[in-house]
Amino acid sequence: MYTFSSKLKTFSIALIILGVLGMAYGFFSGPKNTHDVEKILNANNHGHDAHATENSNNEHKAASEHKLDTHKVENHTKTEAHTNKDKHQEHLEHVLHQYQNKPWSAFFIAAFFFFMVALLVLVFYSIQWAAQAGWSIVLFRVMESITAFLLPTSFFLLLFLILSTSGFNHIFVWMGEHASNDALLVEKAPWLNKTGFLIRSFIFIAGWNIFRFFLRKNSLALDKAAEMKYYKRNFNIAVGFLGFFIVTELFFVFDVTMSLDPHWFSQLYPFYVFASMMVTAVTTILIVTVYLKSKGYLPNVNQSHIHDLGKFMFGFSIFWSYFFFDQFMLQWYSNQPEESVYWIPRLLGSYQLPFIGMLILNFVLPFLILISSDFKRVSGIIVTAGLFIIIGHYIDIFILISPATVGDNWSFGMSEFGSLLFFFGLFIFVVFNTLAKAPLEAKGNPLMKESEHYHYYNL
């Protein structure tokens, strides 16, 4: 049996507390009105539009003071000045919404990232059951414990979605008061509406948690009873879950992330997100496994198991790279305005540096490290590659969401660090607490012996 050490528990609680403080600071330190925004823009030398508008207004005032003879010119000047003032105020309100979105966006990114990690570990776990794989049985308790994090992240994600539909933030533009003036959003309203959005989200998330509950329950029952009926039940549940997931993940990703920018669309988007989070999920399994083994647990996990997880990491990294290039190539080639608007801030705008860094972390480094079969057997090397992958795909999710929520007013500050620390600390607490509640080996599984003696032959 695994024992959740007091040091690790204290560490996780400390991360949670620091995370809460960081998130609170982010919510309370942001600008409260357009006057605060104007000060920030001027202080950061980003107030070009404001200065241009002020200069324009000063010119109009000077022209008015000269008492021009033509009444028509005077009226035109006043009208133009009034129009510029309205545009300036509208711009300030837009920037204010982006600044106010920043802590919400940071929370959403972290919640979505960790939620999808737990969900995709559940998918990988279910694939093992459905395929009746023998090599991975010694890793089942690790996978089950990581999937335990699905429930708390589901709560926080649903809470965020409910607050968003209640008007607490401006994350989803199609929920705003100006959506009725947008012809495209009016056309999409039968699907993109608050009621349908919440109902679908609740059904999808509740369904995934229910499948997870019964898979875990039957797995533990199989240990005690050693009856094949529990094995058969989990096989059927796993197959049913995978079918349910294939359909629901498409709509969930469309709803929760792609609708952040409802004027842009991509049919490959949900598959891209799936690939990104699947490689992160497998990497998480590997890192937790290596940690437990370093502490003297999981004696039956050998280099062949680590090697196979490394192969999945490498394979899904290439899989993600394929979808990334495919989506980019098709939209670059067609060069449609509604598609290129997605790439401009990422390739040419303020997100260019993290975008390039994300490509290096998610493709270049994993490719160079994991292409070697020998490197996949060295724990230090493969964990290093895994850390690159996790950081890279967190940045990937950050870049997917931030341009639509905070625009160019992004940074990695207290809100982002706080949200990341909070969910990471909660992850450690939930996962390792779950590990301590059951034996680390699924002894009742009929394929356990095959897994214990598994050896990878490099032909």
- Exposed/middle/buried for 250, CB within 10 Å: 0-12, 13-18, 19+? middle
* DSSP letter assigned to residue 205: H
Q: pLDDT tens-digit profile of 311-331?
A: 999 999 999 999 999 988 888
Which of 200-214, 293-307, 374-388 is modeled with the greatest confidence? 200-214
Q: Which of 286, 450, 310, 429 is nearest to 367 (CA)?
A: 310
* DSSP letter assigned to residue 91: H
* pLDDT value at residue 114: 98
Is residue 363 within 8 A of residue 287, CB to CB? The reply is no
Q: pLDDT tens-digit profile of 429-438?
A: 999 999 999 9
**13: which residues sit within 8 A by CB, 6+ positions away?**
425, 429
Average pLDDT, integer, range 381-410: 94
Helix axis angle, 303-334 to 269-294, nearest 10°: 160
Between 13 and 53, residue with greater pLDDT: 13
- Domain positions in the chain are 6-27+102-452
Helix axis angle, 303-334 to 379-405, nearest 10°: 30
- Rg, Å, the chain Cα set: 26
Q: Does the structure show a pLDDT above 80 at 394?
A: yes
Average pLDDT, integer, range 349-368: 94
